[in-house]
């Protein structure tokens, strides 16, 4: 990193921005320019922006507007609060190691400081990244930045009007702002909450390598276009799907502009204008699949795919051409989830080691239920904090296995033995929940009502009519989870929403006339059992996708061994380890906040970035959406089991081992589901249609119900296309080209 590396800067002669000057400058050169610029008054000073703009004029002839921003080389933010000194801001940036240039404005005085911060990026970013980068700076500076700093096209004047050059401070950091991912933990957005506005968070559908490869092969004009092809064909069949495929990235625009320039009709200004327009109004139907079919038609290869997708297909095992399956031959089974031994750390591993040899239960079932029960015992006495959110050691565990064969109930009874001498075991375990009101009642606060104490005078007094529950810990054990799942389907049932709030640790209350109960600071954990058949039949798509299911850690379990006469754990061995558990629980009753140690802190950064935050596709993405929070809670419990106030490397490794097992279980159980009944139906229809495919009208006619609006069909097709399960192509007809949808093999 050096202050002499150049980056793109756009200079506007005035705030009217009728013209622009593009420069490549280093940070030291920009500092010199700011100090050397003079003007009689502020309105005559030039403006700067760390961005590249197109040539699209606004209605007033201005080049500086959101739709004309092509790419960002950095950000400039403004402080006009007149309280924080520029030196204090520089100190904060220096401590964070962020490269920056600070300069005072023409309105700055010693008693009323006003200044700006310039931060360049390590590489050009897309306009949609602007808000997040400004939020990083705003959080680092304690939320003091002016709101206009969040405006994408906002530029700022520079220089002086009083003959005194602005004060500049160069912070020599160790990283650029876009590399300081840790600042996302303290980021503060715009005060009114209107952050990303129309620049939607579009996820790329294809790699830049695939996009470049396709555009290299695609002629311009496209052979399938009619002889009188115009701007509409270029926009609808190539510009829109390419923008969607790359998410509006700078690299995508460079590849698209290179392809557009092949045409004699190419106009740079029009190309820039359309690309910028898509940020305001993203195309929602065009897909990269359309580009693939254009290439196939152009090169005469109906099976062409980009190289990366061909490699993916080549990795799939293909049976020999002459292979005929025998009647007794079984299809290959999905790999069964395996629990890594790293999960058996510390006291939890000791518990599993004691119980497992003397039971037919699965070791994952023993471990998960022990972690949930231990965390329930700790209650709100220990927590890990992320920003303003406290994560307590309460877990929702769901064991999935064949009825009566997976030994789910057996494993729970073995775990409960370790806590039988505690009051918690007698007072804080319940089951049979069917309503949200019933769950709140189990951890309710005292209920007070206004009572008449003197009928003659009418004197009234607020009196306690229900003393409530003092101990807010509750472990809900549902050995037949199918029952509450069926209850949740009733239109007025509130159980799903209350369970979701309970996992979050929120206060529980229902705003209904007939429900006077509320629960403050509840600590609710869940151990649930269900068969593989029941979870497919009873957990509907709403439960899977609305955040209810992703609060559970799913564990796929099976019988570990055959013990015709059962196991026989010596009672003194059970008593000995139960005493250890009791001692550990008591040691943590005043634990308070738990933090990372230095090694785990860095390890967490890597895992968060490279593993836990990666977006999963299909319904699995909804089920595993809380990967980060679940892992934090597991690591917290492992630290508490070691009686530690710091989460260490071993604790995080154990937590990741548990999470990886639960994710693999969820993939095994839900991996092939989409989570949208209409999308599932459409995919079935298209698979049955084979290579012929179906038009949107044909799909509608094939659906069981014809009362489905076209907008829902379009949304389902878009979802399937994003998941790579279907693709579309334009087919010539006697009238106009028709879009035909096909299932991807």
Strand partners for 25: 7
**Spatial separation of the C-alpha atoms in residues 11 and 407, rounded to whole Å:** 71
Contacts of residue 487, defined as CB under 8 A and 6 or more positions apart, other chains included, come to: 434, 435, 493, 495
**Spatial separation of the C-alpha atoms in residues 263 and 221, rounded to whole Å:** 6
- Which of 629, 474, 619 has the alpha carbon at shortest distance from 549? 619
pLDDT for 204 equals 74
**Spatial separation of the C-alpha atoms in residues 698 and 715, rounded to whole Å:** 16
Structure tokens at 136: 């990083």
Structure tokens at 474: 């509750």
pLDDT for 401 equals 86
Positive or negative: CA dihedral 390, 394, 552, 484: negative
**Spatial separation of the C-alpha atoms in residues 540 and 661, rounded to whole Å:** 23
pLDDT for 197 equals 37
Strand partners for 490: none
Positive or negative: CA dihedral 595, 599, 600, 605: positive
User: Are 504 and 424 contacting, i.e. CB atoms less than 8 angstroms apart?
Assistant: no
End-to-end CA distance of the chain: 47
User: Are 217 and 291 contacting, i.e. CB atoms less than 8 angstroms apart?
Assistant: no
- Average pLDDT per run of 10 along the chain, which is 745 residues long? 78 92 92 90 91 86 89 94 89 89 90 93 88 88 88 91 85 88 73 42 75 90 82 83 83 87 82 76 73 84 73 42 38 71 94 90 93 96 90 94 66 90 91 85 88 84 87 92 79 81 86 73 93 71 63 89 80 92 94 92 89 70 84 96 95 95 87 69 86 86 79 83 79 74 81
3-state secondary structure at position 162 = coil
Place of tokens 């009234």: 460
**Spatial separation of the C-alpha atoms in residues 599 and 648, rounded to whole Å:** 7
Strand partners for 509: 518
User: Are 468 and 445 contacting, i.e. CB atoms less than 8 angstroms apart?
Assistant: yes
CATH architecture assignment, domain 677-743? Orthogonal Bundle (1.10)
341-670: CATH topology: Rossmann fold (3.40.50)
- Which of 362, 346, 366, 341 has the alpha carbon at shortest distance from 657? 341
Alpha helices in 343-388 (DSSP H): 346-355, 363-378
Q: Is the pTM of this model over 0.85?
A: no
Cα Rg of the chain, angstroms: 31
**Spatial separation of the C-alpha atoms in residues 522 and 496, rounded to whole Å:** 16
CA distances from 376 to 195, 428, 592 (A): 38, 9, 15
Query: Looking at residue 280, what DSSP letter applies?
Result: H
Pairing mode of beta strands 156-157, 168-171? unpaired
User: Are 396 and 550 contacting, i.e. CB atoms less than 8 angstroms apart?
Assistant: no
Structure tokens at 187: 């980021």
Q: For residues 347, 353, 358 and 363, what is the CA-based torsion angle, rounded to 10 degrees?
A: 90
Domain extent listing, the chain: 6-185, 208-314, 341-670, 677-743
Residue environment code for 247-273, b if the CB has 16+ CB neighbours within 10 A, otherwise e: bbbbbbbebbeebbeeeeeeeeebbbb
DSSP letters along 608-673, please? Answer: IIIIITSPPPHHHHHHTTTHHHHHHHHHHHHHHHTT-SEE-HHHHHHHHHHHHHHHHHHHHHHTT-
pLDDT for 328 equals 33
**Spatial separation of the C-alpha atoms in residues 399 and 643, rounded to whole Å:** 27
């Amino acid at each position: 990193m050096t202050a002499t590396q150049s980056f793109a800067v756009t200079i506007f002669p005035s705030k009217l921005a009728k013209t622009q000057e593009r420069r490549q400058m280093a940070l030291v050169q920009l500092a010199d320019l700011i100090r050397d610029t003079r003007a009689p008054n502020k309105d005559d000073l030039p403006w700067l922006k760390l961005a590249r703009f197109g040539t699209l004029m606004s209605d007033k002839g201005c080049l500086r507007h959101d739709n004309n921003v092509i790419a960002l080389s950095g950000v400039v933010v403004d402080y006009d609060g007149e309280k924080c000194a520029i030196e204090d801001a520089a100190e904060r940036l220096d401590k964070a190691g962020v490269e920056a240039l600070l300069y005072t404005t023409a309105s700055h005085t010693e008693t009323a400081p006003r200044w700006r911060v310039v931060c360049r990026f390590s590489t050009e970013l897309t306009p949609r990244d602007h808000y997040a980068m400004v939020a990083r700076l705003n959080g680092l500076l304690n939320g003091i930045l002016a709101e206009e700093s969040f405006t994408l096209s906002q530029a700022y004047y520079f220089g002086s009007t009083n003959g005194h050059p602005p004060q500049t401070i160069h912070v020599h950091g160790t990283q650029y702002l876009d590399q300081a991912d840790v600042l996302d933990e303290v980021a503060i957005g715009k005060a009114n909450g209107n952050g990303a506005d129309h620049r939607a968070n579009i996820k790329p559908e294809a790699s830049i390598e695939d996009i470049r490869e396709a555009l290299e092969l695609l002629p311009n004009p496209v052979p399938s276009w009619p002889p009188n092809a115009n701007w509409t064909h270029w926009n609808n069949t190539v510009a829109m799907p390419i923008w969607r495929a790359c998410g509006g990235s700078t690299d995508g625009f460079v590849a698209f502009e290179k392809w557009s320039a092949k045409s004699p009709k190419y106009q740079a200004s029009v190309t820039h204008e359309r690309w910028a327009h898509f940020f305001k109004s993203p195309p929602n139907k065009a897909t990269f699949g359309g580009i693939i079919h254009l290439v196939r038609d152009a090169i005469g290869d109906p099976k062409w795919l980009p190289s990366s997708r061909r490699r993916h297909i080549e990795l799939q095992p293909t049976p020999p051409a002459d292979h005929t399956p025998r009647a007794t031959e079984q299809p290959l089974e999905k790999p069964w989830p395996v629990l890594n031994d790293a999960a058996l750390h510390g006291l939890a591993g000791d518990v599993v080691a004691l119980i497992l040899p003397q039971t037919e239960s699965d070791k994952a079932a023993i471990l998960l239920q022990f972690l949930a029960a231990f965390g329930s015992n700790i209650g709100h006495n220990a927590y890990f904090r992320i920003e303003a959110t406290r994560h307590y050691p309460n877990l929702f565990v769901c064991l999935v296995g064949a009825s009566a064969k997976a030994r789910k109930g057996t494993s729970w009874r073995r775990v409960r033995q370790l806590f039988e001498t505690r009051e918690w075991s007698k007072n804080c375990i319940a089951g049979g929940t069917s309503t949200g009101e019933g769950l709140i009642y189990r951890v309710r606060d005292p209920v007070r009502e206004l009572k008449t104490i003197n009928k003659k005078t009418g004197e009234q007094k607020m009196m306690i009519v229900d003393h409530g529950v003092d101990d807010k810990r509750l472990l809900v054990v549902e050995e037949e989870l199918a029952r509450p799942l069926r209850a949740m389907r009733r239109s007025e049932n509130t159980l799903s929403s209350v369970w979701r709030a309970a996992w979050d640790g929120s206060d529980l209350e229902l705003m209904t006339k007939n429900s006077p109960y509320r629960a403050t600071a509840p600590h609710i954990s869940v151990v649930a059992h269900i068969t593989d058949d029941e979870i497919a039949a009873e957990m509907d798509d709403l439960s899977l996708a609305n955040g209810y299911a992703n609060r559970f850690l799913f564990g796929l379990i099976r019988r570990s061994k055959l013990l015709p006469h059962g196991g026989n754990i010596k009672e003194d061995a059970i008593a000995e380890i139960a005493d250890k558990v009791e001692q550990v629980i008591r040691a943590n009753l005043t634990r308070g906040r738990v933090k990372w140690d230095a090694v785990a802190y860095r390890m967490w950064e890597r895992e968060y970035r490279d593993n836990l935050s990666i977006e999963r596709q299909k319904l699995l993405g909804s089920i595993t959406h809380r990967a980060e929070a679940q892992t934090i809670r597991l690591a917290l419990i492992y630290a508490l089991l070691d009686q530690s106030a710091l989460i260490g490397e071993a604790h995080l490794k154990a937590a990741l081992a548990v999470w990886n097992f639960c994710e693999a279980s969820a993939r095994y159980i839900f991996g092939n589901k989409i989570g949208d009944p209409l999308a599932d139906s459409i995919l079935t229809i298209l698979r049955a249609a084979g290579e012929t495919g179906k038009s949107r009208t044909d799909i509608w006619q094939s659906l069981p119900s014809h009362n489905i609006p076209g907008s829902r069909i379009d949304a389902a097709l878009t979802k399937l296309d994003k998941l790579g399960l279907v693709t579309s192509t334009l087919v010539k007809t006697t009238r106009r080209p028709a879009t035909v949808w096909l299932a991807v093999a």
